[in-house]
Amino acid sequence: MIVDNHYIHDFVRPFIGKHNGAEEYWRGTGKINSELRRLIGLFYPKDRPVEYVFTQVLCEGSDLDAKYLRELKKLARDIGGEFVPIVLRTALEVLKKRGATESRAKRGKIHCPEKMERVMAGRKLLEIRHRNLLILDSSEMTEDETFAKILAHVRSI
């Protein structure tokens, strides 16, 4: 199961309409995301195998991003799972080309290359250290190639 951070936004947006990055909006959707992970940890049957993939850009200097990472590690422990952090790195120029799609626009994701460049400027990704860590530069890879590498990594654990 993939729990994309934008699924939360997709759920909330019809009730509140468009937003301009209001702090309350981000704090509220963060609480929903956190509660979802907590409920999965509480109620997921411990005897059933499960794969959850949470997607998020985590940045250095963000207490919320560091907290999010701790919560994901705790969730893996709570459901008897394995925490497998996967960091995808992609050159900014490639991201700008890949991100300029109508499907991203419809989901409220950044889809304008100029905005993506502004948002990513000066951001440093959170450094993750973990025995199961996979860092993958997908700049020169197709989606299928990226998926195959990730799948091979997960299967090797």
Q: Residue type at 139?
A: S
Tell me if 90 is assigned to some domain: no
- Between residues 148 and 97, which one has the greater pLDDT? 148
Q: Is position 120 within any domain?
A: no
DSSP state string for 94-144: HHHHHH--HHHHHTT----HHHHHHHHTT--BPP---TT-EEEE-TT--HH
Average pLDDT over residues 5-9: 70
Residue 52 lies in a domain: yes
Which pLDDT score, from 0 to 100, does residue 71 have? 85
Domain that holds residue 3: 1-83
Q: Is residue 65 part of a domain?
A: yes
pLDDT of res. 149: 93
Domain assignment present for residue 137? The answer is: no
- Cβ(126)–Cβ(60) below 8 Å: yes
Could you tell me which residues are beta bridge partners of residue 89?
137
Q: Which two three-digit tokens encode residue 47?
A: 């005897």
* Residue 40: band (very low, low, confident or very high) from pLDDT cuts 50, 70, 90: confident
Residue 20 clears pLDDT 90, i.e. is over it: no
Number of folded domains in the chain? 1
Cα separation of 47 and 73, whole Å?
19
